[in-house]
A and B are shown apart, each in its own frame.
Chain A
Amino acid sequence: MAKRSVLGLYTEEDSAADALDNLREAGFEEGEYEILTGVPYPEGTFGEAEPEHNLYRWPLIGAICGFTIALLITAGTELAYPLITGGKPILSIPAMAIIMYEGSMLGAIIFTIIGIIFESRLPRIFMGAYSEKITEGHIGVTVTTDETRTDAAETALNKAGADGDIIRGWE
């Protein structure tokens, strides 16, 4: 069944927290509703669940990939065109270490960026129910649910004193 989203806007943090309580009482589950704000509030301000993420794994994977690629490039170039200097080994570890270090860091940073975008569930093609007032200080509570339950969601949002009309959107 097609999913619809509805959005209620609030000017006070307490009203938005009440809206979440009403939604829970009306039988909506975590994952069906979300808070939208124009500013990062301290976690749990609205009584929402703490978001889980695995971002810390991404830089480690990236660093391993970057290190491996840098190792292959440095060792590969030295072996492909051997420069024998004063009878020293062809593979020059101090020089390789510099490039491998940079490779590891570059890999870690690129993977972290990819991780941030992925874990933030971006890019999001359809905005669903959204209002430009959110970036002006309003707090949005959006519910994404089956078309049959949108009326119940609207009632719960209005009960908490939504500012203006409830906005509807497609997912």
Chain B
Amino acid sequence: MQEHTQLSHKQINEDLLKDVLTVPKWWLPAVAFLGLVVLTGLCAFFFMVYHGLGVTGLNRPVMWGFFIANFVFWIGISHAGIMISAILRLTQAEWRRPITRAAEVMTVFSLIAALHTPLMHVGRPWRVLYWIFPYDFSRGIWPNIRSPFVWDPSAVGTYLIASTLFVFICLIPDIAILRDRAKKPIVKKIYSQMALGFRGTPRQWKLQIVAGILLSALVLPVFVSVHSIVSWDFAVLIGVEGWHSTIFAPYFIIGAIHSGVSAVAMLMALSVWLYGLDKYIKPDHFDAIARLLIVVATTWFFFFFLEWVYALYTLDSPDIALRELQALQWPYGPLFAIFVITSFVIPVPLWLFKRVRRSAALMFWTTILVNIGMWLERFLIVIPGLLRRTHMTFDWGTYHPSIIEILIVVETFAFVCLGMLLFAKVLPLIPLFDIKEGMVNRRLIKVGRRVVPATIREGLPHHYYEKKH
């Protein structure tokens, strides 16, 4: 049974808005450091634009390197944010309340990070206009919609717009709280504009609840389509036989969920440590997400196993050669071992222990391991796939990431952290109204000789209960 502490609305406002309306001591140095890393990455990018892609380690036959592996990784992270929020909203899981907002915001920043790596990868990002937008240039050439390079922006763009709007709609009641709490006139005015005049009428609350459920139902199919389309970037590529796999779409999706849910668990631990939110994110919440992770990780491992079985059982030479390169040859073999150990072998058995599941620190470190492993997984799909020697290959080079690529990849991590910190400075990372609703819906009732929290299913019309009783 979940622990239950009844808090007043005033107490919740004070706890969850203290870091929005005031500046924590560590905040400025952290933002300055992350800003510096982002700036360094941007300098590296402009250096690359000026000198051309020759400054990267990309060369025949490996024309997709760190940038594309990083793109797939961030798309994966972005997935679980909205997914976990949407599934938990749809199933009305009580433990969702403190974690949905942070997960949704992480989706938005991860998607922006994901989007800018392929843009940098093309070397001349402004030329994106030629292959994405249906605009007839003077050359009379229109984009080729049969190419995944048009599918990707349409899917990722849809997901980014949907996630951003989803976050905004769910934020309106909390912005109204900020409007009422802000002291400085200019800040109050900005929050007033953003709150759109929300007052908390029954109609507005009903629409909020319906919106949460309806948007979740609409975002989930988009979430599935985005990573499927990303996987088709690989699967439909004619040149690499090892990628011609029908299992790629579900395999990529479950991999995305594995790394994304792990990232949400990391975020929960960081929220507890940085913002002191242990009153709201409790061991019960870590326990619940760890149980979910066991299911997700095991399903992911099943797909991973199937991918290998399908590849090896056919005895197709390109597939076997690719697997040999991925798992047995230097330097990919050791990386492969690290990938399997960190993403499954260490964390999953540990999560079977209640003490691990209920510890913020242990959940943080085990989920960090998962994400190290999942980044390596994407690297091991991209690089050995392109590196494998084929009949017509005339250039048998290898791939070493340059310092420029490393700086840009590091920049994406700093960008997401910076984005989250800036967001948390202006808007609450935990949905206040959701927490308060949980308090209202879980008032204590007496059952026999025990007093337990009663949970009412939100969103049901009052005649539902009347009919039942």
Residues of chain B contacted by A132 (CB below 8 angstroms): 180-181
Which bucket holds chain B's interface residue count?
35 or more
Q: Does A64 lie at the interface of the complex (its beta carbon under 8 Å from any beta carbon of B)?
A: no
Q: Does B2 lie at the interface of the complex (its beta carbon under 8 Å from any beta carbon of A)?
A: no
Q: How far is the CB of B112 from chain A (nearest CB, A)?
A: 17
Q: Does A51 lie at the interface of the complex (its beta carbon under 8 Å from any beta carbon of B)?
A: yes
Q: Does B32 lie at the interface of the complex (its beta carbon under 8 Å from any beta carbon of A)?
A: no
Across the interface, B199 reaches (CB within 8 A) one of A41, A98, A99, A127, namely: A127
Say yes or no: A55-B210 contact (C-beta < 8 A), given A39-B436, A42-B458, A137-B8: yes
B154–A124 CB distance below 8 A: no
Residues of chain B contacted by A40 (CB below 8 angstroms): 205-206, 208-209, 433, 437, 440, 458
Q: How far is the CB of A114 from chain B (nearest CB, A)?
A: 10
Q: Which residue of B lies closest to A48 (CB)?
A: B202
Across the interface, A53 reaches (CB within 8 A) one of B134, B143, B207, namely: B207
Say yes or no: A53-B210 contact (C-beta < 8 A), given A105-B162, A120-B204, A122-B197: yes
B436–A98 CB distance below 8 A: no
Interface flags for B122-156 (1: CB within 8 Å of A; 0: not) read 00000000000010100011111110001100110
Binds A, one of B33-41, B214-222, B361-369: B214-222
Interface flags for A73-110 (1: CB within 8 Å of B; 0: not) read 11011101101010000001001101101110110111
A116–B207 CB distance below 8 A: yes
Report the Cα distance A30→B142, complex, angstroms.
57
Q: In B160-204, which residues have CB < 8 Å from any A CB?
A: 161-162, 165-166, 168-169, 172, 176-177, 180-181, 196-204
Q: Which residue of B lies closest to A44 (CB)?
A: B462
B437–A39 CB distance below 8 A: yes
Residues of chain A contacted by B201 (CB below 8 angstroms): 34-36, 51, 121
Residues of chain B contacted by A50 (CB below 8 angstroms): 461-463
Looking at chain B's contact residues, is the secondary structure mostly helix, strand, loop, or mixed?
helix
Q: Does B13 lie at the interface of the complex (its beta carbon under 8 Å from any beta carbon of A)?
A: yes
Residues of chain B contacted by A41 (CB below 8 angstroms): 202, 205, 440
Q: Does A8 lie at the interface of the complex (its beta carbon under 8 Å from any beta carbon of B)?
A: no
B158–A77 CB distance below 8 A: no
Q: Which residue of B lies closest to A100 (CB)?
A: B154
Across the interface, A77 reaches (CB within 8 A) one of B142, B202, B206, B219, namely: B142
Say yes or no: A80-B154 contact (C-beta < 8 A), given A73-B134, A117-B196, A135-B9: no
Q: Does B359 lie at the interface of the complex (its beta carbon under 8 Å from any beta carbon of A)?
A: no
Report the Cα distance A107→B85, complex, angstroms.
21
B151–A95 CB distance below 8 A: yes
Q: Does A113 lie at the interface of the complex (its beta carbon under 8 Å from any beta carbon of B)?
A: yes
Report the Cα distance A157→B9, complex, angstroms.
23
Residues of chain B contacted by A108 (CB below 8 angstroms): 218
B437–A113 CB distance below 8 A: no
A-B pairs, 7 with minimum CB distance: A124-B197, A44-B462, A137-B9, A40-B205, A132-B180, A81-B142, A51-B203
Q: Could you pull out 16 A-B pairs where Cβ atoms are within 8 angstroms?
A: A35-B202, A37-B202, A38-B436, A48-B202, A51-B203, A53-B206, A59-B218, A96-B145, A102-B157, A106-B162, A109-B161, A113-B165, A116-B208, A116-B210, A124-B196, A135-B200
